[in-house]
Amino acid sequence: MNVLLINGSPHGKDGCTQTALEVVAETLNAESIDTQIVHVGHKDIHGCIACFKCAELGRCVFNDIVNEVAPLFEKADGLVIGSPVYFAGMAGGMTSFLDRLFFSTPFSKRMKVGAAVVSARRAGTTATFDAMNKYFTISEMPIASSRYWNMVHGYSRQDVMQDAEGVQCLRILGRNMAFLIRAIAAERERNGLPAAEEVTYTNFIR
């Protein structure tokens, strides 16, 4: 079993978002879940242009990091997405990345476990957290929770590690996510996944 973690921060290995994701990854590893952290926030990522070419190609028309990560997402049992807060929202590159990753990939995401992790110096965490979780709920992905919202505060790696409550929440998240992944795998083996339905579209302007 494995979880893919996405770092949507422009900062690298010493950044706050990376630090938070490492706490989750270490906890998952302790629960015998393999992990991989992929850094995308420093890439030049084009936004979705709604060209729908992905329906023909089976991948995004912009052949960049999104298409590189897609096979990792398909194989993963869980996905953790991490972003810093910019103007009380996600980093722009991360928004572009997630829009295209979720829209352009043809494989089913049902019952993959999702979780969002947010890093901020001070404020905007809950608005960002809400927006990130919507990618999971539109994809029938159960969301792993902690005892508080998955957020850490600080301006440096050292600051994040001093946020004792935030770090504790990330450890709890990792354990809960591992449990949920194992529970879903066991139920899938016994009884299969819940019955699926074809999408029904309703347009309110006629």
Domains and CATH numbers, the chain: 2-191 (3.40.50.360)
pLDDT in tens, the chain (206 residues): 999 999 999 997 889 999 999 999 999 999 999 999 999 999 999 999 999 999 999 999 999 999 999 999 999 999 999 999 999 999 999 999 999 999 999 999 999 999 999 999 999 999 999 999 999 999 999 999 999 999 999 999 999 999 999 999 999 999 999 999 999 999 999 999 999 999 998 988 76
**Residue 167: predicted pLDDT:** 98
pLDDT, position 204: 82
Using CA atoms in the order 80, 102, 143, 138, what is the torsion angle rounded to 10 degrees? 160
Structure tokens at 25: 């990854």
Closest to 13 (Cα-Cα) out of 34, 41, 54: 41
What residues contact residue 31 under an 8 Å CB cut-off, 6+ apart?
A: 174, 175, 178, 179
**pLDDT score of 206:** 66
Burial class, 157, CB count within 10 angstroms (exposed 0-12 / middle 13-18 / buried 19+):
middle
- Can you give the pLDDT at residue 13? 81
